[in-house]
Structure 1
Amino acid sequence: MSKRPPPGPVAVLRGHRASVMDVCFHPTQNLVFSGSSDGELRIWDSVQHRTISSAWVHSAAHGIISVSIGDNKVISQGKDGTVRCWDIEKGELSRIPSASIDANFYHFCKLSLVKRPAAETKKAEKLTPHHVEEVIEAFSQERSHGIQEEAENSGIFRNDDCQEGRPYVATAGGERSEVEIWDLNAAERIATLPHSSGSSINEFTKGKGMCMAVQAFFPSGSQGFLHVLAGYEDGTMGWWDLRNPGVPLTSVRFHSEPVLSLSMDEMFSGGVSGGADDKIFMFTLDHSLGSCVVKKEISLERPGIAGTSIRADGKIFGTAGWDHRIRIYNYRNGNPLAILKYHRATCNAISFAADCKQMASASEDTTVALWELYPPRPSA
């Protein structure tokens, strides 16, 4: 008996004139955001499958490499290091950015908005500024010496710098192998990884090459201190805790070529990496030991994974390939579920809707495809 063929997209969004580099869903509204290599940002209605608004938010020479959504703001990133926040008003973008970072250096690493577990998001929303100050003061008293003091004395970190709830992004830095953390509200760089004291050269950076992929997150029980997972040009991944910015908690080298994409699951217990080689790695993070280990290695017939994404319910994950294919896997055991073959050029990114009902894929064929795959079971 032959297997049932994989489904086609439920809709194809056409309108971009250049390669679509990234795509994401609004967490609560029926909106999809996509950015292209000529600097155009589009907002789509994911139900009526039409463009709601369009604007050139970065120059055509630099284009857009990533698009994110947070707190009803769209965050666009240009290849020249510029990051801009746009308010959303009735599906329309604000005429001028509400915040802007002009780093003025070129890279291909998509930024990461700081992520946190959903349960802690709700808890943080209930904290008043007074309560936040109490938490910080109590934590400061508990840690009268050690790593935190060293970080504070270095001048790049304060114990109130990374309170949960403030808008931060992590991105590749201006110097080789560096990762930078920026406060979007203040347009201020608050930390650099690795941080070297004086003029000494950090040993970790030797041979790593550029940062090519990054994920920033607040682990449960981290007391509001930021962690960063970064992938580098030589195939290394480093796991950082901002309380010790000089060296990573651990570093591993699963890939033989540059790491191009990293995705974390909702609990930050592990994730998926894709690179320029012919491997996909599922990995787990042990927060008590500070270790990162391979959960499963998946071999591909053709190299090149430009994008990865794990669905919010932790059931499935997908990859966007250089071979024009979208691959879907079971996130629990890594078993392959489907290969989607609609796009006619490199797939640059995929994204799942927050309600897990749709997936979007972005391609150099100038289209965004919408898919409905393995719908979540209705809650009882």
Structure 2
Amino acid sequence: MASSNSTRRPPPDPVAVLRGHRASVMDACFHSSLPLLFSGAADGELRVWETVQHRTLSSTWAHGGVAGVYSVATSASIGNRIISQGRDGTCKCWAIEDGGLSKKPLVTFRTNTYHFCKISLVKSPVGAMESGFSPMELKDDERDVPAISSYQMGGRNIMALAGEEPSQVELWDVNVGERLISLPQTQNMPSTEHLKKGKGMCMAVQAFLPSESQGFLNLLSGYEDGSILWWDVRKPDVPISSVKHHSETVLSLSVDGSCTGGISGAADNKIVIFSLDHGMGSLTLKKEINLERPGIAGISIRSDNKIAATAGWDHRIRVYNYSKGNALAVLKYHTASCNAVSFSMDRKLLASCSEDTTVALWELYPPQSRTTRAMPALMHDAEQQQ
């Protein structure tokens, strides 16, 4: 009798491979509504790709010298703009125009940061902006919190990154390139020194705006010692929760589409799925997934919270059922370390980028129409393996 392994379908190949970069592709992200993908490479090149015909629309040398582009980020909340982060001490905000990007950045942020923590724009619960969510009336002790307290500022125009003092996290106004606040605040020196000595540099951040926060920004930050802190800007001196689920440096964090949980990856050999209890202010371990090889450089959770993907040092993209935590597929194309993964907002595509200078596009469990009852083959096969 043939073994069950012989009947399993192999994982899919990429539907397209985008070639053109001449250096390691460090990050990639999709436009929120247009068929565009943005990718940044270690030599400073920022490319705009059209995802239907898989061609380059424009190429910009965004960050010069050996600094390179380390991160790229865009979202519906900031409109037709994209932010690039270089290891030259700057971030730049570009206008998305017909055929590519503006010739010059709209705003240049002089962050004076030279580390390896990628920037984060603010993630809001899926549907929050459409439903007209707005902050509740402020309490007296909350009126002195900076402008980030309002939904419009906090949800639409804020960028988070590890700070000039790399144990801190800084929040910046995307519109004007102004630094608003540091977590913890610099005037609280005992707290800052304890963070620096105990946890090391901040290596991953994720800003988000849970509906339970009354319009106040929240943020997760991961550190060299494997710990993760949960911040609320109403309490900028002390995190509301601190956990240590990893034994090595936290490299990647992603909060899900409902802002009630997420995934962390690190330099160790495990992935952690966690839940966020907003009532208790606790970050709780939900599931720990052990890996054969260490190193998860990037994580993305699809907006419908059904699947998640990770980018591994072992050249592999791993796909998981987000709610159950079980593995669905291991995608093998890249020939060098994978640096990042990103889902498109329409949930049809996954982009993976690698040190092998390529960006691969994958179709994984695309949304099914109401008249379609058949499960995608890959999902069906993955469930048969359980």
> TM-score of the superposition, structure 2-length normalised?
0.90
d(CA) in 1 for partners of 2:43, 2:83? 16
| Equivalent position of 2:95 in the other structure | 87
Structure 2 CA distance for aligned equivalents of residues 162 and 243 of structure 1: 16
Q: 1:199 to 1:310 in 2, by over 3 A?
A: closer
Q: Is the 8 A contact 2:68 2:87 kept in 1?
A: yes
Residues 179 and 193 in structure 1, CA contact (< 8 A), matched pair in contact too: yes
Cα 1:242/1:90, change in 2 over 3 Å = same
Matched, 1:7 2:21: no
- Partner of 2:159 in structure 1? 169
Match of 1:261 among 244, 252, 263: 252
**Of the candidates 82, 92, 105, which is equivalent to residue 113 of structure 2?**
105
Residue-by-residue CA offset, 1:192-231 (whole Å, 9 max, x unaligned): 0011535444334431111000000111032221000000
Question: Where do residues 115-264 of structure 1 align in structure 2 (5 Å cutoff)?
Answer: 115-124=123-132, 139-140=137-138, 143-145=139-141, 148=142, 152=145, 159-160=149-150, 163-197=153-187, 199-202=189-192, 203-264=194-255
1:310–1:352 contact (8 Å) kept in structure 2: yes
CA offsets 1:89-137 (integer angstroms, 9 cap, x no match): 1131101111110112211101000111232212449xxxxxx8xx6xx
Aligned to 1:60: 65
Contact 1:204 1:247 in 2 (8 A): no
Match of 2:365 in 1: 374
Where 2:130 maps in the other structure, the secondary structure is: helix
Cα displacement (A) at 1:20 = 0.2
Specify the code of the residue in structure 1 equivalent to 2:173.
D
Superposed CA offset, 1:232-255 (max 9, x none): 111000000000001101000000
Deviations 1:132-161 (A, max 9, x none): 8xx6xx723xx123xx26x64xxx667559
RMSD: 1.8
| 8 A Cα contact 1:124 1:165, kept in partner | no
Are residue 74 (structure 1) and residue 64 (structure 2) matched?
Answer: no
Q: Deviations over 1:258-285 (max 9, x none)?
A: 0000011111110011000001000000
Residues 45 and 52 in structure 1, CA contact (< 8 A), matched pair in contact too: yes
2:13 maps to a residue whose letter is G
> Which letter does structure 1 place at the counterpart of 2:45?
E
- Moved segments of 4+, more than 2 Å: 156-166, 196-206
TM-score w.r.t. length of structure 1: 0.91
Summarize the alignment of residues 353-368 of structure 1 with structure 2, pairs less than 5 Å apart: 353-368=344-359
Of 24, 44, 51 in structure 2, the residue corresponding to residue 46 of structure 1 is 51
- Cα-to-partner distance string for 1:25-77 (whole Å, 9 max, x where unaligned): 11111111100000101111111011111111111310011111131111100
Letter in 2 for 1:377: Q
- 2:160 and 2:154 map into 1 onto residues whose CA distance is 14
Question: Unaligned 5+ residue runs, structure 2?
Answer: 372-386
Residue 137 of structure 2 aligns with an amino acid whose one-letter code is F
Percent sequence identity over aligned pairs: 57
Please give the alpha-carbon distance, in whole angstroms, between the structure 2 residues aligned to 1:206 and 1:175: 12
2:163/2:169 contact within 8 Å kept: yes
Distance in 1 separating the partners of 2:204 and 2:155:
23
* Match of residue 325 from structure 1: 316
Corresponding residue for residue 286 of structure 1: 277
Aligned residues: 362
In structure 2, the CA distance between the partners of 1:375 and 1:119, relative to structure 1 (3 Å rule), is closer
The alpha carbon displacement at 1:84 in A equals: 0.6
Task: Report whether the alignment pairs 1:301 with 2:292.
Answer: yes
2:263 counterpart residue number = 272
Residue segments in structure 1 that go unaligned for 5+ positions in a row: 126-131
